[in-house]
Structures are given as C-alpha cells and as structure tokens.
Amino acid sequence: MAIPRKRRVAALIGNGHVDVMEQVMPPLVDGSVLVEVFNSLVSPGTELGGWGQLRQQLDKPQTGASPRPFGYSNAGVVQQVGAGVTRLKQGDRVACIGAGFAQHSDYAVVPHHLCVPLPGNVSFAQGSYAMLGATALQALRRSQSEFGDYVAVAGMGLLGQLVARFHQLAGNYVIGWDVNPFALETARQWGIDATARVGTDGQDVQAITSRFTQGNGLDTAIMAFGGNAESTYQCINQCLKCTPDGHRMGRIVVVGLASFNVQWLPANADICIAARTGPGYHDPNWEVGPDYPAVWMRWTTRTNLELTLRLIGEGKLDVNALTTHAVALSNLDTSIQSLLQHSDRVLGVIIDMKRG
C-alpha cells in the first residue's frame, strides 16, 4: 500500500471548536512504527479540559493561539516498521498510546513499546481504550489493595469506571461516588458493587459508604476526577477505617487531576499519586529501544497495556458498556458541539477515521 504524504489530524483551535487539519506525515524514526488508524478514544477530562471548560470557550476570540493536535490512544494496522523493531510487523493489528504520538489522526508514528498487538476478538474501537485501561491498572497497583478490601472510587467518568472494575477483578468490593446520575447508573449496569450520589438531598455519602463496608470503613479511596477536591478529601477521611483511639487509616490514590490541601489529622493514611500507565512511559530510551529486564520489572507500560487488552478479549473488561457515542473524524466539530448539549450523558466517545 502506498503511504500518503499527508495525514488528517484533529486539533483544538482555542475557541471551544475542533478542526481537522492536514499535516505532513511524521517521519518513521528508528524504534517506531507507522500505523493506519481506524479508531481513537476521546478522554474529555484531560484532552478537552472537561466538557464544561470547552463550553465556556465557545466562539470566544482567541489571539495568537495555534491549532493544537490532541489525543493519546488509538488503534489500527501497522503499515511500516522502523529500524530495530522486531516485536511488530506490517499488517499487525495494534493498540497505540502516547501524547504526541497516538493522536486523533488517520495515521500515526508511535514508539514500538507504546504499541501492543490486539487479540483477535478485540476490535479497534475496544483497543482504543488501552491508554485509560493501563492508567487505571497502574492506579490499582499503586493502591496496594489486598483481596477483599473495601474501595471507594470518587469520580465515575471513564477512568473511574475502569479503576473500579480493575479493583473488582482484583477481588475488592467497590463503591462509586459521583454527582452525575448517568455515570452512576452506568456503573450499576456494568456491575460495580454499589454507588452513592454526591450532593443529593436525602443521600448521605458517609452513611451509605459505612453501610457498604459493614461498618468497617474504607481500606482505599481513589480520586479519579479533576479540580478542587477539598470536600471529597474530607469525606474520604471520614469514611476510612478507624482505630479505637480515633485514628483514620487507609490509602488515598490520586489518579485524576484533583487538588486539595493535605492537613494534619489524627490519622495514619497514605496519599499517593498514580499519574502514568506504568514504568517506561516518557522514558524515550525505553519507548524506542530495548525493554527493561522482566525479572526486575514485570509490569511496565507495555505489559499493563497487554494485560488490559487480554482482559477485554476475555470478556472481563467490557469497555463496550462505557461507549456512549461514535463519531466520524470528518465531522468531528459538529459532533462535539452536539455532545456539549447533553454532556452529562456522555462517557466513551469513539472517533471513526474511515466513516464519511
């Protein structure tokens, strides 16, 4: 197949709109692969700043802003491999990740360790969940949860839903917290153990969570959302398990872009950040070069991606339950403006590069 000299790529243009622009095809460098992309996944929180921020920008004049290509998770077919690549070959179906690499575009050049083969029964649309899946899986690893733990996930957007499901697969009991009834209903429908709606009259999140944990309190809480998290942090602290002398204990993992002030409390709670897909991501020598020795580092970004896709293929991670919309790259701005009108009912948005 002849490789075109230019590609189409979605770009934010700074006024709440998206343009599909033409770019010269990126060069195929050593240690990378050229992929013809079929599907990509939009993660609105980190890519668009959230639907609310995008709505606030609509049609406001922008001075000096250049179009900014975006996206970091897609799937397609390998067309060419660069020097030094032995894991992948032309014709392989792959999932790809990486900011600046796996964009919302019809072609992408991606470091070979950020590409993993798709199992035969996993579609391109399902494969485009690889980045968020590996991020959620790494958050599970960072939580150090043990079998049977009680876990709360605050923020049941795409990432929170995946974090919740991975904790269930690891043998934990999970309650999801959110302000959005649609997100909570989605969580219930695809099997998350319990939910609590935040900020609703008649619903006390602490009381619901206490009943869920049978009075034992939470072992772990995950913050999977962005913005001010002061009230959530305080609520989590009140829901953690408690010693006889009143000290709260447990682990709080921040996987979204939440911000809060850590205050001294009579507690022995650990707070950690899980901001990556696993070791290797953003290490340029690893991304295009040799792998870390598996005997020392079993779980890297690549092996987290591979496990995510294996679980999708085995039916244990039903990402189809999270996909609410499929849109065409060629009509992306119109579709996004339509989604803005009912963004409270939007979760997974799959972009189709081939649909007219």
Indicate whether 194 belongs to any domain: yes
Indicate whether 10 belongs to any domain: yes
Same domain, 195 and 250: yes
Indicate whether 138 belongs to any domain: no
Could you tell me if 272 and 254 are in contact, meaning their C-beta atoms sit under 8 angstroms apart?
yes
Reading the chain (356 residues) residue by residue, the pLDDT tens digits are 688 999 999 998 878 788 999 999 999 999 999 999 999 999 877 777 667 777 777 777 766 678 889 999 999 999 999 999 999 999 999 999 999 999 999 999 999 999 999 999 999 999 999 999 999 999 999 999 999 999 999 999 999 999 999 999 999 999 999 999 999 999 999 999 999 999 876 679 999 999 999 999 999 999 999 999 999 999 999 999 999 988 999 999 999 889 999 877 767 889 999 989 999 999 999 999 999 998 999 999 999 999 999 999 999 999 999 999 999 999 999 999 898 888 899 999 999 998 76
Indicate whether 20 belongs to any domain: yes
Same domain, 159 and 267: yes
Domain of 30, CATH number, reads 3.90.180.10
- pLDDT for 324: 95
Residue at token pair 């679980």: 311
Q: Where are the beta strands (DSSP E) in the chain?
A: 6-12, 18-24, 32-42, 68-69, 73-81, 93-97, 107-111, 115-117, 150-154, 173-178, 194-197, 220-223, 227-228, 241-242, 248-254, 258-259, 267-273, 323-328, 348-352
- pLDDT for 64: 63
Domain of 223, CATH number, reads 3.40.50.720
- Residues β-bridged to residue 252: 221, 271
Among 273, 302, 334, the domain-final residue is 273
Same domain, 24 and 83: yes
Distance of alpha carbon 345 from alpha carbon 20, whole angstroms: 25
B/e letters for 346-355, b = 16+ CB within 10 Å, e = fewer, are bbbbbbbbee
Q: N- to C-terminal Cα distance for the chain?
A: 21
CA distances from 101 to 215, 306, 335 (A): 47, 18, 23
Same domain, 238 and 309: no
Indicate whether 179 belongs to any domain: yes
Give, as one character, the DSSP assignment of residue 229: -
Same domain, 198 and 265: yes
309 three-state secondary structure: helix
Could you tell me if 156 and 164 are in contact, meaning their C-beta atoms sit under 8 angstroms apart?
yes
Indicate whether 267 belongs to any domain: yes
The domain tally of the chain equals 2
- pLDDT for 263: 77
Indicate whether 136 belongs to any domain: no
- pLDDT for 63: 64
Among 216, 240, 273, the domain-final residue is 273
Indicate whether 133 belongs to any domain: no
Residue 284 structural domain: 6-128+278-352
Among 255, 273, 291, the domain-final residue is 273
Same domain, 343 and 222: no
Same domain, 17 and 115: yes
Amino acid found at 304: N
Q: What share of the chain is helix, strand, coil (3-state, %, to 5)?
A: 30, 30, 40
Same domain, 229 and 339: no
Q: Would you say the pTM of this structure is higher than 0.85?
A: yes
Same domain, 241 and 122: no
Count of residues making up the chain: 356
Same domain, 46 and 17: yes
Distance of alpha carbon 331 from alpha carbon 107, whole angstroms: 17
Same domain, 122 and 155: no
Give, as one character, the DSSP assignment of residue 239: H
Q: How many CA atoms does the CB half-sphere of 207 hold within 13 Å? A: 4
State both tokens at 183: 């997100």
Distance of alpha carbon 248 from alpha carbon 213, whole angstroms: 15
Same domain, 318 and 252: no
- pLDDT for 191: 96
